[in-house]
């Protein structure tokens, strides 16, 4: 009876097989590692951009409706009160835009007359206590608190408000459109280290702006987190935010421009 012989791997075949399996294993491992790195990096980018997007949306919504002439970029200060860099921006959010009928009211120096502001009801203006009146000399606002208000009727579905202001009205405070604004309290946005803060409340983090190169002489430098350009003939006050951030050593700049919607 014939016997069938069984032959195993030769040494060369075994070595070749081991090498092939090792190469395949290394390739699969590298592919998995590379895929995980891509996922990790993309997730980090998405997280960073999501928080910056939320902060920038809040910022642009507020500053776009700021009272004209109130936007100011100013330096961050250290514990000694010394200026470090132009890392902060302040402005007064707009409550409402109103129409002047008398500024000042004849026979007074601190009364104005307007149609009923949004902060007043048909019989009461106590809702205006948290706001201030902004009158203008060109693009320069002057702010007054409302001491009292008298409401009178001017016909069907028409009411007037006589507002007593907290000080003597400046002689040059006028608007070509007879407008004035009701303003809410000041809002402050600052870049402090790697954080974005609104009225000292954390809105985002992870910024890498080099505030050391951002000074009055180079206020438009790409490293400046906030840039305010004054109004020109063809446009209103323009505000630009420039936030640098990095993921895995790769730098990106988040840029957004906002034009103020209101003029005096």
The yes-or-no verdict on residue 78 having pLDDT over 60 is no
User: Which pLDDT tens digit goes with each residue over 23-51?
Assistant: 888 888 887 877 777 777 777 767 777 78
Where does residue 219 fall: left (phi above 0), alpha (psi -120 to 50 degrees), or beta otherwise? alpha
Nearest to 209 by CA among 235, 186, 243: 243
- Paired tokens of 170: 């400046």
Averaged pLDDT of the chain: 80
Q: pLDDT-derived band of residue 112, with 50, 70 and 90 as boundaries?
A: confident
CA distances from 253 to 171, 176, 217, 241 (A): 46, 40, 21, 10
Residue 79, pLDDT score: 46
Q: Which of 7-11, 12-16, 180-184 has the highest mean pLDDT?
A: 180-184
Per-residue pLDDT, 49: 78
Residues composing the chain = 264
Return left, alpha or beta for 234; rule: phi > 0 is left, psi -120 to 50 is alpha, else beta.
alpha
Q: Which of 88, 148, 66, 82 is nearest to 112 (CA)?
A: 148
In whole angstroms, what is the distance from residue 80 CA to residue 153 CA? 56
Distance CA 51, CA 38 (A): 20
d(CA 63, CA 173): 23
d(CA 118, CA 95): 8
What tokens does 191 get?
């870049």
| Whole-angstrom distance, CA of residue 110 vs CA of residue 102 | 11
pLDDT in tens, 231-263: 887 788 889 999 988 877 778 888 889 988 877
Q: What is the reported pLDDT for 208?
A: 87
Q: What is the pLDDT of residues 194-203, one digit of tens each?
A: 889 999 999 9
Instruction: Read off φ and ψ for residue 233, nearest 5 degrees.
Output: -60, -35
Domains belonging to the chain, first-starting first, are: 51-91+185-259 (no CATH), 94-183 (2.60.40)
Q: How far is CA 67 from the centre of its chain?
A: 15
């Amino acid at each position: 009876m014939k016997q069938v012989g069984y032959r195993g791997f030769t040494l060369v075949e075994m070595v070749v097989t081991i090498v092939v399996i090792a190469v395949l294993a290394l390739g699969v491992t590298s592919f998995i590692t590379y895929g995980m790195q891509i996922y990790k990096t993309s997730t980090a980018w998405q997280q960073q951009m999501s928080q910056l997007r939320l902060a920038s949306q809040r910022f642009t919504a507020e500053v776009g409706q700021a009272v004209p002439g109130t936007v100011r970029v100013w330096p961050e200060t250290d514990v000694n009160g010394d200026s470090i860099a132009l890392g902060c921006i302040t402005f007064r959010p707009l409550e409402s835009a109103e129409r002047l009928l008398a500024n000042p009211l004849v026979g007074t120096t601190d009364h104005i007359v307007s149609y009923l502001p949004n902060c007043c009801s048909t019989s009461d203006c106590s809702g205006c206590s948290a706001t201030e009146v902004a009158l203008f000399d060109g693009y320069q606002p002057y702010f007054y608190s409302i001491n009292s208000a008298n409401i009178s009727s001017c016909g069907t579905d028409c009411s007037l408000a006589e507002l007593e202001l907290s000080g003597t009205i400046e002689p040059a405070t006028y608007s070509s459109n007879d407008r004035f604004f009701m303003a809410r309290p000041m809002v402050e946005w600052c870049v402090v280290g790697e954080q974005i803060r609104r009225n000292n409340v954390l809105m985002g983090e992870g910024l890498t702006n080099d505030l050391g190169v951002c000074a009055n002489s180079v206020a438009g430098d790409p490293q400046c987190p906030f840039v305010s350009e004054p109004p020109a003939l063809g446009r209103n006050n323009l505000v630009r935010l420039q936030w640098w951030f990095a993921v895995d050593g790769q730098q990106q700049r988040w840029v957004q421009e906002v034009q103020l919607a209101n003029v005096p």
